[in-house]
Copies of this chain bind each other. A is one copy, B any other.
Amino acid sequence: MSPHLSLLRNLPKYLRPSAPRSSIRPLGRALHGTSIAFAGHLPPRNAGFKKIEEQDRAFFRSILPEQAVRTSDLGPFNTDWMNKYHGKSDLVLFPRTTEQVSKILKHCNDNSIAVVPQGGNTGLVGGGVPVYDELILNMSAMNKIRHFDSASGVVVCDAGCILESLEETLGAEGFITPLDLGAKGSCHIGGNVATNAGGLRFLRYGSLHGSVMGLEVVTADGTILDNLSILHKDNTGYDLKQLFIGSEGTLGIITGVSIWTPPKPKSVKVALVGLDSFKNVQATYEKTKTHLNEILSAFEFWDKESLKLVLSHSIQGTRDPFDDQYPFYVLIETHGSNAEHDDAKLQGLLEDLMEGGEVVDGVVAQDESQSQSLWGLRESIPEACSKAGAVYKYDVSMPQSVLYQLVEDMREHMRSKGALGSKVTDVIGYGHVGDGNLHLNISAPKYTDEVQSLIEPFVYEWIQGHRGSISAEHGLGVMKGAVLPYSKSPEMIGYMRKIKEAFDPKGILNPYKYLPLTESK
C-alpha cells in the first residue's frame, strides 16, 4: 500500500450525505422562471392540425375514466421541469390501458390532432412538453409491472413505471435496472427508452439498444405493435423496436417495455482520485480498464472548476475530501460478486496509479454512506452550475482523445472574445470518460443573445470537425432538431424522414421537434 494513498476509513461526518442519492435531482431548479430563446428555430403552429373541440373531449370521456381526462390546472404538464419550455395545451389524457392509447391515437390521427407523449417530464431538450396546443398523452397511469422472470432477468412492465419504483421492486428479487439516472425518482422507463437514456451505469451494462428485449408500441393510426418479446435472441425480421428506442415519441407511443435486468452486485466499491492533467485522466482510464475490467461500472471525471462551483454553493453539504486541489478528479465505481476479489483489484489499481504517478491522491469509500458522499460530489455539479445564474448546457460525445479539448478551446474562445470573467463566469467540463461523453457547461450571470451567439455555432462546428455527436444522451427534442445536420448527413436525414413518413404519415406525433423542419411541416 502506498503511503500517499489516504483511506476514508474514518470519513468525517460532513461527507455523509444529507439525502439519499436517488433524491438528488439533476440540473437547476434555479432556472425556474428563466426562458431561453429557441435560437430562432421555432416554427409557427401548423395550421393543418385541428384545434381540440368539445366533441373531441366528449369522445375521450366516452372511452376513459373521468379522472383520466384533465382540462384545468395544466401548468405542470405544459412546462418542462427546468421551466425552460412552455406549451399551451388545454387537454391532458391519462390512459390506463394500451387499448385506450390505441383509441385515443386513432381518433387523433383521423382528426389530425397533434399529440405529445409525456413520461416523467424530466427531459432536458423540451421533447416531452407541447410547443403549442398539442394534446398531452401522459403515461403515468400505466404503471404496473406485468411480469418478471428471475431465470432470464427479464422484466415486462408498463411504460409509465417510475425507474426508481422499478429498481425497488427488482431489488427485492435480487436484480437492478440496467440504467440509473439522477432523475430516477420521476422519470418513466418508457421515457427512458423513448429517449435512449444513457446515465451512470452505461459503461457496465451498455446501451438500451442491447438491454431492451421488446416493446409494445401504438403507432399514430392506433395500430398496436406487440413486440413485447422476452427473448434474448430473436432474428425474425427487421428489429422494429430499435427504431422506437431514442425516437422521442415521434414514431409511436411506447406502452410496454420488456428489459433485461442484471443481478444486484454483491459488492460495490467507490474510489475518488485527484489528477494533474487530462492526459493522466486518460492514462488512468487505461490502467483502470486493465485492472478492473469486468467489475468496472463507472468512470466519471470532472475538472477543478466543477468542484469549485459545487463547494462554493455548499450543495448537499458537500466538502472536499482532499487537503489539496487538483486540476481533475475521477470517480471509479465497481460492481462485483466477490468483495474480497473486488477489494484486491481496486487496491492493485490504486497502487499502480500512485506508483506510476498518474494520480496524485486518492480515497476509497468504506461503506455505502461514504460511497454516496463521493457520488454526491459528481451529482451536485449540475445543480451547482445552475446556481451561478445562467448555464448553457451541452451534452456531447466525441473520441476520448479530444474529450477535454473542447472545454479548453471553448475557454480560450471566450477569453479571445473578452467574455471570460465578465459575460461568461466560467467554462466547466465533466462527464462519462468511458463513454466519451462530455457535459460542457458555460455559466454566466444571465442569459443573453450575445453569449448564446458566442457559443453557437462555435460548439457545433467544433464537434462536427471532430466527428462527434451534438447529442450524446439527452436527445434532440425542440432544442436540437434544427442542428441535427452537424451530426448527420443529408442522406441520413433523408431516410429518417422516410421512416417518419412510414409510421406517422400525418406527422401528428410530437410535431415541431426532432428532425430539422421542412417548408411544409
Residue of B nearest to A468 (CB): B231
* A to B CB contacts below 8 Å, 27 in the list: A151-B399, A152-B399, A196-B239, A202-B233, A207-B233, A223-B491, A223-B495, A226-B489, A226-B491, A227-B488, A229-B467, A231-B436, A232-B434, A233-B436, A235-B246, A235-B471, A236-B469, A236-B470, A236-B471, A237-B476, A238-B251, A239-B243, A263-B290, A290-B337, A294-B336, A338-B344, A341-B344
Q: A198-B233, A226-B489, A242-B243 are in contact. Are A401 and B151 (CB under 8 A)?
A: yes
Tell me, yes or no, whether A79 is within 8 Å of chain B by CB.
no
A98–chain B nearest beta-carbon distance, Å: 13
Q: Decide if A24 is an interface residue (CB 8 Å cutoff).
A: no
Instruction: Enumerate chain B residues within 8 angstroms of A409, measured Cβ to Cβ.
Output: none
Would you give the shortest CB distance from A116 to chain B, in whole angstroms?
A: 18
Interchain CB contact (< 8 A) of A151 among B286, B470, B487: B286
Residues of B within 8 A of A338 (CB): 341, 344-345
5 further A-B pairs in the complex, CB-CB below 8 A; given A151-B286, A237-B476, A294-B295: A209-B242, A229-B467, A232-B434, A238-B500, A291-B337
Number of copies: 2
Greatest chain B CB density within 10 A among A242, A401, A472, A487 is at A242
Closest residue on chain B to residue A505 by CB atoms: B498
| Contact present for A233 and B152 (CB under 8 Å) | no
A152 in contact with B436 (CB, 8 Å): yes
Known contacts A291-B337, A467-B230, A472-B231; is-contact A488 B236 (Cβ 8 Å): yes
Q: Is A234 on the interface with B (CB-CB < 8 A)?
A: yes
How far is the CB of A257 from the nearest CB of chain B, in Å? Answer: 16
Contacts of A223 in B (CB 8 A): 491, 494-495
Answer whether residue A493 sits at the interface, using C-beta atoms and an 8 A cutoff.
yes
A52 at interface by CB-CB < 8 Å: no
Closest 10 CB pairs of A and B: A210-B210, A242-B242, A293-B337, A233-B472, A498-B502, A234-B469, A236-B487, A341-B341, A294-B294, A233-B397
